[in-house]
Amino acid sequence: MSKVLIMDTILRDAHQSHAATRMRTEQMIPVLEQLDEVGYYSLEGWGGATFDSCMRFLNEDPWDRLRTLRKHLKKTPIQMLLRGQNLLGYRNYADDLVDKLVEKCFENGIGVIRVFDALNDPRNIEASMKAIKKYGGQLRATDPTRGICEAAISYTSGPVYTLEYFVNLAKTYEDMGADNICIKDMANLLLPFDAYELVTALKQALRPETKIHLHTHNTTGTGDMVNLMAIKAGVDIVDTALSPLANGTAQPATEPLVATLKGTEYDTGIELEKLIPIANHFKKVAAELEKEGSLNPKVRQVDVNTLIYQVPGGMLSNLMNQLKKAGKEDKLQEVLAEVPNVRKDCGYPPLVTPSSQIVGTQAVMNVVMGERYKMVTKETRDLFAGKYGRVPMPLDEEAAAKVLKGEKRIDYRPADDLAPEYEKLKAEVEAKGFYTQEEDVLSYASFPEVAENFFKWRKARDQGVDTDLAKTGVYPV
Ligand SMILES: [Mn+2]
């Protein structure tokens, strides 16, 4: 029996992909106990975007959300996504902060940490993995389903991305201590027969106890086929989302896969009947999100452009939003055509946060300004300078000269430059009068301005009338 395990993304990637990560904790709570009874391998519930969105848009403490999820999810591990040395944010953090964040994630209820680096540079997930092994190991001693270290390969296509490349990277991550190896196909670029080949190769190369976990999307309409072919090749875990927020830029739907595998050697063991009332709840939530304008029904459609332009779903909706705000919606095709050019110039990084944002924003600038690299973001410069890590291919020297303007490149692990920072950030949060818990320092480290605004709001809420704040009328008192 090679029972297939399922991670449902309804609490994270599904609404991140469809509704700009705007699902609120109160929209999750009514069905958490039912979700816990389904028999999933894990429920994805946390990550950089949910963390940001909680504070920025929803006036929620992301740590409170995590603790609430954990309170209701007694059996099913909560899975999160960690961006290696970038943690939940968009810059490199010092190793002491990496250690502290991982400790607090497990302490507040995370069971499985999926860690990846946008550039597939193993040096960038070293510190995270060390911390996951340390704190996860302690958790695992009492509960073998928690404290899991899942190292993810950012799947992408391009000249360097051969079967051998992926197998070598997976073996490197396994040697570094990964319990699971994830194929993170954030853009649904992985085609069904390639998935079969890749999973087969990984199964042969990796230890039998290492679980292979596939994460894809249904942006291009191939997601269900990708999952099925991977299952035929022996994949252990696949990611799906309950149908109301599934498909399109999100994951393939859970229910059809459960039905497909029923009674076969791959049976998930999940009863379809248990999913129906939960899906009915999220149907209502999806309608609410659409009504408030967070859910753009366009993202549900099959978009074969992704196969050509190699743009992840989240990035595509970001580009659409950026252009819409600038009143330049008609430039979408031009921007999509510029993305692969920028990518080639900067050494073919996989397109995933933050490199997807960097490349995407630069492509928008190149098109809107009418001249390539006339305007360059700091992030683009840093990517070219090696400050995000090693890119798989050489830079385009002509573009690099235009972008860097003589700035020095580095070839060592970027975080080696960083001095410990937790105590310094803690002192800042305390000096500003916002410190209530160690987690606040991590929120502040991740998104300083967003966190500070959230802390102001929280203080006003908790202390009742705050005369300064009340005067602005911005914060509820
Ligand atoms: Mn994803």
What pLDDT score was predicted for residue 471? Answer: 53
Which residue, among 233, 237, 277, 235, has the nearest Cα to 255 in the 3D structure?
277
**Gap from CA of 467 to ligand 1 centroid (Å):** 43
**Gap from CA of 431 to ligand 1 centroid (Å):** 38
Contacts of 403 (CB under 8 A, 6+ apart): 373, 376, 380, 381, 384
**Gap from CA of 235 to ligand 1 centroid (Å):** 18
Partners of 76 in the beta sheet?
none
CA distance 433 to 27: 31
**Gap from CA of 23 to ligand 1 centroid (Å):** 16
Half-sphere exposure of 246 (CA within 13 A, CB side): 20
pLDDT over 80 (residue 473): no
Burial classification of residue 454, based on how many CB atoms lie within 10 Å of its CB (0-12 exposed, 13-18 middle, 19 or more buried):
buried
**Gap from CA of 81 to ligand 1 centroid (Å):** 9
DSSP character at residue 41:
S
H or E segment to which residue 45 belongs:
strand 42-46
* φ and ψ of 433, to 5 deg: 80, 25
Strands (E), 110-230: 110-116, 148-154, 180-184, 211-215
**Gap from CA of 83 to ligand 1 centroid (Å):** 12
Using one digit for the tens of pLDDT, what is the confidence trace for 229-267?
999 999 999 999 999 999 998 999 999 999 999 999 999
Q: Would you say 88 and 47 are in contact if contact means Cβ atoms under 8 Å apart?
A: yes
CA distance 399 to 92: 24
**pTM score > 0.75 for this model?**
yes
pLDDT over 70 (residue 310): no
DSSP character at residue 398:
H
Compute, in degrees rounded to 10, the torsion defined by CA atoms 89, 93, 97, 103: 50
**Gap from CA of 13 to ligand 1 centroid (Å):** 6
Q: Go through the chain and tell me how many residues it has.
A: 477
**Gap from CA of 61 to ligand 1 centroid (Å):** 23
**Gap from CA of 251 to ligand 1 centroid (Å):** 8
**Gap from CA of 16 to ligand 1 centroid (Å):** 9
Average pLDDT over residues 449-470: 82
Using one digit for the tens of pLDDT, what is the confidence trace for 92-127?
999 999 999 999 999 999 999 999 998 999 999 999
Burial classification of residue 272, based on how many CB atoms lie within 10 Å of its CB (0-12 exposed, 13-18 middle, 19 or more buried):
middle
Which residue, among 291, 277, 290, has the nearest Cα to 245 in the 3D structure?
290
**Gap from CA of 233 to ligand 1 centroid (Å):** 21
CA dist list (Å): 365 to 323, 338, 362, 369: 11, 10, 5, 6
Contacts of 202 (CB under 8 A, 6+ apart): 166, 167, 170, 181, 183, 212
How sure is the predictor about 214, in pLDDT bands with cuts at 50, 70 and 90?
A: very high
Average pLDDT over residues 264-271: 97
**Gap from CA of 185 to ligand 1 centroid (Å):** 7
pLDDT over 70 (residue 152): yes
**Gap from CA of 477 to ligand 1 centroid (Å):** 38
**Gap from CA of 384 to ligand 1 centroid (Å):** 25
**Gap from CA of 316 to ligand 1 centroid (Å):** 13
**Gap from CA of 327 to ligand 1 centroid (Å):** 28
DSSP character at residue 2:
-
**Gap from CA of 158 to ligand 1 centroid (Å):** 19
**Gap from CA of 5 to ligand 1 centroid (Å):** 17
Tell me which residue has tokens 């960097």.
358
DSSP, residue by residue, 66-132: HHHHHHH-SSSPEEEEE-GGGTTSSS---HHHHHHHHHHHHHHTEEEEEEE-TT--GGGTHHHHHHH
How sure is the predictor about 472, in pLDDT bands with cuts at 50, 70 and 90?
A: low
**Gap from CA of 22 to ligand 1 centroid (Å):** 16
**Gap from CA of 314 to ligand 1 centroid (Å):** 8
**Gap from CA of 215 to ligand 1 centroid (Å):** 7
Using one digit for the tens of pLDDT, what is the confidence trace for 158-187?
778 999 999 999 999 999 999 999 999 988
**Gap from CA of 88 to ligand 1 centroid (Å):** 15
What pLDDT score was predicted for residue 351? Answer: 83
Contacts of 162 (CB under 8 A, 6+ apart): none
CA distance 238 to 254: 10
What pLDDT score was predicted for residue 464? Answer: 77
**Gap from CA of 217 to ligand 1 centroid (Å):** 7
CA dist list (Å): 408 to 87, 354, 373, 382, 411: 25, 21, 18, 10, 10
**Gap from CA of 213 to ligand 1 centroid (Å):** 13
Using one digit for the tens of pLDDT, what is the confidence trace for 43-92?
999 999 999 999 999 999 999 999 999 999 999 999 999 999 999 988 89
Average pLDDT over residues 20-36: 98
What pLDDT score was predicted for residue 467? Answer: 54
**Gap from CA of 370 to ligand 1 centroid (Å):** 32
